[in-house]
Structure 1
Amino acid sequence: MKSETLLALDTGTQSVRALLFDLRGNLLAKARVPLEAYFSAKPGWAEQEPEYYWKALCQACQELWLQPGVDKTAIVGVTVTTQRSTVINLDKDGKPLRPAIVWLDQRRTPLFDPIKGKWGLLFKVAGIRPTIEYFQQEAESNWLRYYQPEIWEKTHKYLFLSGYQIFRLTGRFADSVASQVGYVPLDYKNLRWASNGDWKWAGLRIPPEKLPELVSPTAIIGQISPGAAAETGIPIGLPLIASAADKACEVLGAGGIASHIGCLSYGTAATFNVTSPKYVEAIPFIPPYPSAIPGAYNLEILISRGYWMVSWFKQEFGQRELQLAEERGIAPELLFDELLQQVSPGSNGLLLQPYWSPGLKVPGPEARGSIIGFSDVHTRAHLYRAILEGLAYALREGRDRVEKKTKLAVTELRVAGGGSQSAGAMQLTADIFGLPASRPHVYEASGLGAAIDTAVGLKLHPSFEVAVKEMTRTAQTFEPNPRTREIYDGLFYEVYSKMYQRLNPLYHKIHKIIR
């Protein structure tokens, strides 16, 4: 009897992966096509051609079929998960009107259209008008309306990358509600487009007809079209199942369906997530994101330039390790882990706050990264360890905020993403959080989460509880070291947790002077 398999197409910031899973969560085959994350026509811009993503997806599929033992006829369902918040404008024929604006883009729009009326008054009274104005200035749709009105006028559909790939695969303008993470008028509480009169319509000015139809995770969006089958090699007519954005899928693939499990993602963006059956705003006026489980939510704390900072360090300070790795024919990460081990926990008093990019609320729009505690004993190795520790401190701070809001304790951690492959990073995470930290059994946790949605949607597993039990498990677990934890607790409570408040006035002055 032929074993049923699931095809997950995962487009991240660094690569596209075509992943084949069985119903036990085993990764049977994988094809990876590296991506250039973006190109910049102007400083701060981050764009990429939509067709580039599609061609890479097709290439990944075609390479997958060449893997030993891959049987296309055993595939029973397909799903798509992608990086979040990358937007694409299509004309009435489904053709891109301009390059995609990638989530790493930093362009902003002057506040030419502030929200007035009852909503404007409410935001002023609540003290969050700067947050709402930041939301408007960051929204890609407002930039397009202001600077490229002819493009906006011709836009028939305004989609995230997930919606674009679904359109290319099925011909349908639809997307999972759990992929709508970005500056769009979503009602996050009720998991649908916002109702008439909601302030988001006034803040973003996106006509409803430009948006895709939304479906819940596990729903069948469509079937693989003949044209898509010809380009990708995926069999015609296979059902395409809605899953979620990559972070939500990663939480599911790590087995994080219970509220006592904290899920960390050490990817280009670093996040802390807890799955909740209830709508809870861990940060006031900042909604939780849709979970890959229908009707549930991910309470997320985001460091937008998370493990991107590791790439930044490697580029700016790690040429020696990169060269040695190339000469020895080994992965650079092995040498960077050695660099990490050269420094004792706490980096000899060097503390880093990883706000290389600001946020909506915590940190605020004015935030900047900071490093304090330098002395003549510090080296590159200290800086590298301080980066990893700073990211863990920031996510621990997020964990504390979520626990306080939900009144529920996080008792274990699951860590996924590229940074989870570092044993040193895993150990310091366990020590800083004071909790056991485990890796999922497969590195491709977001693809596995998407496959779980597909398995449940096709009734191959009767529930998410059963699917997670059957398809996920932990690999290595790192236990916190009590002595090291004591050092980190002191630095976290006495220094790190006070840095933002103390430095915030200076951030405001910097912003005012250079604006």
Structure 2
Amino acid sequence: MERYILAHDIGTSGTKAVLFNTDTLTITGDCTESYPTFYPAQGQAEHNPEQWWKAVCTATKKLLEQTKVKAEQIAAISFSAIMNTCLPVDKNGKALRNAIIWADQRGESELPKLYAAADENAFYNITGHRINGTYAVAKMLWLKEHENEVFKKTYKFLQAKDFIIHKMTGAFVTDYSDASHVGIFNMHNKQYESTLLKDLGLFEDTMPEIKKSVDEAGLLSAEAARECGLISGIPVVIGGGDGCCATAGAGVYKPGMAYNVLGTSSWNGTLSKTIIHDPEKICFSLMHLDGIHYMPLGTMQSAGHSLEWLMNSVFPDFQTNKTARFTEINAEIDTLLKNGKHSSLIYLPYLMGERSPWWNPDARGAFIGLHPAADRAEIIKACMEGVAFNLKIILDSMEKNQGALSMRLIGGGGRNKTWLDIIASIWEKEIAIPEYILQATSIGAVLCAGIGLKIFPDFSAAEKINPIARVIQPNKALQNHYRTQYNLFIETYKALVPVYSKMRSAAS
């Protein structure tokens, strides 16, 4: 009888269930169930955690029905999920309010408390992060200040996958990847930082036990099995945060290997045996799924978001005709590149402020160098280039601290060959594209379950599960032009920094 791993990727807009055949090492099918994001006020973003659970149960049932796989064939369940969530629950695991998710900004009001507890350098050296209001620790402080009755009733603060794991097993656990992104994790001793917690007036016993992502949280309970359409007793393996699962699923399993996720947002990530302290703090660090390696990352806000925004602006029918419109515009851009028609037009991709490399919430998007002859192909090409330039700053910083890195790329942007050609030429690197670029995060969860059950020896199994399908080579004829544009991109941003500050003051 064939055996399957059921992986759930709990995302911002929905949960994707994936069935992976452990005999053929292939994905048998997937099913996505959506849920809404609630915006109670400006800068706030929440999920109803019971809708996570409903989506997990519904997607599981639909997927089994679609694939004709029987519940008895499920060998294990595991997870990848959104990170930096703040969900307070009581002793029974019941949510005390909606989950405050990663996109929520309300923690900004609590930053003075974080700065009082640790200056920027001390915080970065301990946690691997800059002080930032989006981290779960800032949201916990917000609850303490603004919803103190909820705060006092809280038994545990959970991440998204941790809530589902409790629903399935009754356990209150998390993994190293999620724990390391909360903002109160000591990267040196790999434990919660008790002094920081004490100085912030938070309590270590409200944090779940930390285990490896490949560890078993427990067995699926009879009640949860009935709700999910499964059978009781299936091992539930913890899994990890989506960024770290993406690392594993992309096939990055040792230092020297790196990857990019080109989606709505985008990031570069790699692995290190030691803690990387970036003097410029361009990158931050998480713990990898194995609980051993460190994972330096640099994340930008508006990558695919920039391109989507611009395509919507240029093509009124873009949302209903995406494939045709991209085919059309990419052909025009390819002609510009082939004919060597270079432009000095610069696009700064800062529609929602920026994290890496600038960490400037006041930064805004801009086109610099527009002229009457600039057509849609030149403008959209500049958008693609601007995202690539911003990611190159992050990549250059990583290589400065760690040496040369081999790159691979996953995410929806990996389907756009024109954009990949531009990125490879700007980075001056070949870029390997794995077979599964949209399911790589789910494959990370599959790997956690497979290693936990000893089906796979370690994370290097990703080479067989998600092999390289093609390689994008840089266009050497473009490199001199792009080197000049890269420097101009950086100079343009720096010139606008005082303008951004004045714009913030004018809007307040």
**Alignment TM-score > 0.5, same fold:** yes
In structure 2, do the counterparts of structure 1 residues 306 and 165 end up closer, same or farther at CA, with 3 Å as the change threshold?
Answer: farther
Task: Tell me how far apart the structure 2 counterparts of residues 292 and 114 of structure 1 sit (CA, whole Å).
Answer: 27
- For residues 121 and 13 of structure 1, the distance between their equivalents in structure 2, rounded to whole angstroms, comes to 29
- Which amino acid is the alignment partner of residue 303 of structure 1? M
Counterpart mapping for 1:217-256 below 5 A: 217-256=213-252
Q: What amino acid sits opposite 1:405 in the alignment?
A: N
Residue 354 (1) aligns with residue 349 (2): yes
Equivalent-residue separation in structure 2 for 1:399 and 1:292 (angstroms): 22
**Count of aligned residue pairs for this structure pair:** 494
Deviations 1:224-269 (A, max 9, x none): 1112111112321111112221111111111112333220001232
What is the SS of the residue equivalent to 1:153? Answer: helix
- The SS at the match of 1:67 is helix
Q: Give 1:341's aligned residue.
A: 331
Secondary structure, aligned partner of 1:55: helix
Which of 296, 302, 305 lines up with 2:302 in the alignment? 305
Q: Name the counterpart of 2:469.
A: 475
Match of 1:508 among 494, 501, 506: 501
Distance 1:300 1:112 in 2: 25
2:95 matched to 1:96?
yes
How far apart are 1:131 and its partner, in Å? 5.6
User: Which of 55-64 and 416-425 deviates more?
Assistant: 416-425
CA contact (8 A) 1:76 1:239 kept: yes
CA displacement 1:135-167 (0-9 Å, x = unmatched):
789821122222222222222221111211111
**Alignment deviations for residues 42-79 of structure 1 (CA, whole Å, 9 cap, x no partner):** 22221121111211111110111112342332221110
Distance in 1 separating the partners of 2:369 and 2:120 = 43
Measure, in 1, the Cα distance between the counterparts of 2:219 and 2:130.
41
Task: State the Cα deviation string for residues 8-63 of structure 1 (Å, max 9, x = none).
Answer: 11112233111111335411121122343x12122222112111121111111011
Change (3 A) 1:293 1:351: farther
CA distance in 2, matches of 1:68, 1:161: 26
Deviation of 1:337 (Å) = 4.3
Cα shift readout 1:200-245 (whole Å, capped 9, x = no counterpart): 5534x43112111110121111111112111112321111112221
Given the superposition, is the C-alpha separation of residues 360 and 141 from structure 1 closer, same or farther in structure 2, using an over 3 Å criterion? farther
Distance 1:377 1:15, change over 3 A: farther
Q: Structure 2, unaligned stretches of length 5 or more?
A: none
* Partner secondary structure for residue 317 of structure 2: helix
- Asked whether the 8 Å contact 2:135–2:183 carries over to 1, the reply is no
1:215 aligned partner: 211
Q: CA RMSD in A?
A: 2.8
Aligned to 2:160: 161
Alpha-carbon distance between aligned partners in 2 of 1:414 and 1:33, rounded to the nearest angstrom: 29
Instruction: Name the aligned partner's letter for residue 63 of structure 1.
Output: K
* Residue pairs, 1:353-432, within 5 angstroms: 353-358=348-353, 362-371=357-366, 372-406=368-402, 408-411=403-406, 413-432=407-426
- What amino acid sits opposite 1:390 in the alignment? G
Cα pair 2:20 2:29 within 8 Å, conserved: yes
Q: Distance in 2 between matches of 1:393 and 1:193?
A: 36
Match of 2:254 in 1: 258
Does the CA-based 8 Å contact 1:191-1:295 persist in structure 2?
Answer: no
Q: CA deviation at 1:88?
A: 1.4
Q: CA deviation at 1:96?
A: 1.6
Q: Structure 1 stretch 428-437 or stretch 392-401: which is displaced more?
A: 428-437
Name the SS for the 1:109 alignment partner.
helix
Letter in 2 for 1:16: T
- Are the aligned partners of 1:131 and 1:365 in contact in 2 as well (CA < 8 Å)? no
1:491 to 479, 485, 488: 485
